[in-house]
Amino acid sequence: MRFVIVTGMSGAGKSSVLKMLEDAGYFCVDNLPIQLLEKFAALTIYGNEGIDKVALGIDIRSGDYLHKLGKILDELTDNNILYEILFLDCSTETLVKRYKETRRTHPLFSSSRINNDIETEREELEFLKKRANFIIDTSWILIKDLKTHINKIFVNNENYKNFFINILSFGFKYGIPTDADLVFDLRFLVNPFYILELKDKTGNDLGVKDYVMADPNSEIFLSKLYDMLLFLIPNYIAEGKNQLVIAIGCTGGKHRSVTITNELEKKLNELEYSIKTVHRDILKG
């Protein structure tokens, strides 16, 4: 029997994940009253031979009973009822955007700004995040990518490294990404913008890539950045961090930053972490 508790930030994709698990053969229940959790777990695990995979959605809608969940989980462990927790996280900036686009209200809807409701929810759920076996940050990933992660963990039972690296190319003229953990400035490299045949192309084009990488400083920078990340990532993981946003910028976010971002992705893929690359400003200007 595999018993999975799906939880996390409202708007981070919990309903989508439960649907994915249901399609994969899991018996799914959303928003079960927490006071019934222990009986439900015992019933599905010991009382029904026809069910071997269960997914249960629990979130901030549980209200005051949420504070009792930690004790109930401890009791499940004491009774040898095995469970896994999947926590879906998401940046406040992305959640605010999603709520505005869908015009839905937050479960903690109050008279204050939605940002405050989201941060309150984040604090309330912190104890579950600390207990989580798997943490997936959906700030940067598409539904199809999320499904890939879910299948890898809960369908194919593959080894899963619980750390996400988001590499973001950007243009300084459009502003530094507010959610970046590390920011690097590539404006010291040769600029294809001043080469007529390359000006209107991007770092995804072979000509621009070759031009940028022909600068000896490009390889030196990549090598030093890679070495630094080899040092930083294990230390971030040891401190409980599950996501790293690396922002790489040039003037317009179209040539140098795109090229180096793509090259860094190739090198980091060797580490077998979950990598997501976004070229924020590639179509601007």
Q: Which residue has the tokens 């879910």?
A: 150
pLDDT of residue 1: 84
Per residue in 217-256, pLDDT tens? 999 999 999 999 999 999 988 887 878 999 999 999 999 9
Q: Is 255 within 8 Å of 192 (Cβ atoms)?
A: yes
* Mean pLDDT, rounded, of the chain: 90
- Mean per-residue pLDDT, 163-192: 94
pLDDT of residue 230: 95
| Cα–Cα distance for residue pair 261/26, rounded to 1 Å | 38
pLDDT of residue 111: 59
Question: According to CATH, where is 3.40.50.300 located in the chain?
Answer: 2-155
Per CATH, is 2-155 categorized as 1.10.10.10? Answer: no
Task: Quote the DSSP letter at residue 251.
Answer: S
pLDDT of residue 285: 67
Long-range contacts of 176-179 (CB under 8 A, 24+ apart): 176/247, 176/249, 177/245, 177/247, 177/280, 178/93, 179/91, 179/93, 179/139, 179/245
Per residue in 86-100, pLDDT tens? 999 998 989 998 988
| SS3 of residue 113 by DSSP | coil
**9-23, 85-99, 146-160, 180-194: lowest mean pLDDT where?**
146-160
| Cα–Cα distance for residue pair 95/13, rounded to 1 Å | 10
User: Is 45's pLDDT higher than 90?
Assistant: no
pLDDT of residue 47: 67
Check the CA dihedral 121-125-130-136 and report its sign: negative
User: Is 206's pLDDT higher than 90?
Assistant: yes
pLDDT of residue 49: 66
The strands making up 2-8's β-sheet, listed across from edge to edge, are: 27-30, 53-57, 2-8, 84-89, 134-137
